[in-house]
A = this chain, B = another copy of it.
Amino acid sequence: MKDAHIKQLKEYVNLVEDNLYRYLVGNYNASLEEDVISAMKYSLSAGGKRLRPVLVMEFCRILGGNVEKSLASACAIEMLHTSSLIHDDLPCMDDDDFRRGKPSCHKQFNEWLAVLAGDNLMVKPFEIIANDESISTMTRVKIISLLSKSTGFQGMIGGQVLDIQNETRENITEDILTKTCLEKTGALISCACQIGCLCAEMNQDKVALARQYAENIGLAFQIVDDILDVVGNQELLGKPIGSDQLQNKCTFVTLLGLEDAKLKAEHYTNKALSVLKSFPDNDFLIDLTNSLLVRNY
C-alpha cells in the first residue's frame, strides 16, 4: 500500500482501538463482574486487521459522511466479529488453542468465561448503536436490523453452522463452499460496507453496490486465507500452517488446486475493483482491496 494509505489505515485502526473499550464499559464500575470484562478486553485487544471497522469508516468518509458518525458502529461490528472468534475457538467448535499468536480466550481464562464474554460481545453492540446520538433514530434502526441479520443464521452464525457441517459433508461443491464463505466471512464484511453507506445517509442503490463490492472481497479474502494455510509463514500468520490439511478440511485450495484458487481470488478481487468505480474518492479502497489479495498474513 502507498505510504499515505498506510498512514490512513493506521489512523483508522488507532481510532477503533482507542474507543473499543470506552464503548464497551463506559463509566460502569464493574467490581464484581471484572472477570468477564477482562476476558472481553483480552480478546478485543488481541489485534487483527480491524478490516470491518475500517470499511465502515472509509465508506462513510468517501460518501461525504463525517467519520465520527461511523465510529460507534465501527466499534460495534468489531465486537461482534470478536465475539464470533471467541466462540469459534471453543473446544466444542473449532477447538483452537491459539488466536493471533496468543492463547485463545478459553485457554487464557476458562471456558465458561469465554462463552459469557462472547455472549456479551454479541448483545452490547446493539446498545452502543441504539445510544449513538450522532445519527438519526431511523438510521440507527436500519443499522441494527442489518447488523443483527448479518450476524444471525442468515449470516455469520449460519456460516459457522455450514462450516462445521462441511467437516462431515460428502461431496462439497464450490457452490456450498461459496455459500459458507459468503455467510461466515462475507456477511459481516458486507454489513460493514453497507453500514458505512448508511452512516453517510446514502440510499438503497449505493448500499446495494457496497454490498456487491463486499461480497467479492469477502470471497477473495477467504480464498487467500485458504492459500496462506498452505504456503504462508507461521510466524506472520500467528497460527500453524497446514491446519486445514491436518483436519482434512475442504477449502478452495483442496477443491480447485493452488493455481486455480489463486486465479479465483484474483477474479473476485477484480470484480470488487470494478464495482469500486461507482464510488468517489476510491484510492484508499482500491489500494486496500489489492493489499488483501497479496497479503502474507
Contact = CB atoms under 8 A, between A and B. Distances in A.
B153 A33 contact: yes
A123 B152 contact: yes
A84 to B, nearest CB: 8
A249 interface: no
A131 interface: yes
B30 A153 contact: yes
A246 interface: no
A33 B182 CA distance: 14
Contact of A115 (B37, B115, B137): B115
Interface string A123-137: 111110111000001
A131 B37 CA distance: 31
A122 B141 CA distance: 17
Contacts of A28: 153-154
Contact of A36 (B37, B93, B116, B161): B161
A120 B33 contact: no
A145 B158 contact: no
Interface residues of A, number: 55
A179 interface: yes
10 contacts: A33-B153, A90-B112, A112-B164, A113-B161, A120-B152, A120-B157, A125-B148, A126-B126, A127-B148, A137-B137
A97 interface: no
B115 A153 contact: no
A149 interface: yes
Contacts of A153: 28, 30, 33, 36-37, 40, 120, 124
Contacts of A142: 130
Interface in A142-168: 142, 144-145, 147-149, 151-154, 157-158, 160-162, 164-165
A140 B140 CA distance: 10
A157 B111 contact: no
A127 B145 contact: yes
Most interface-central of A40, A92, A111, A160 (chain B CB within 10 A): A92
Contacts of A123: 80, 122-123, 126, 148, 151-152, 157
B92 A111 contact: yes
Interface string A172-208: 0000100100000000000000000000000000000
A138 interface: yes
Contacts of A4: none
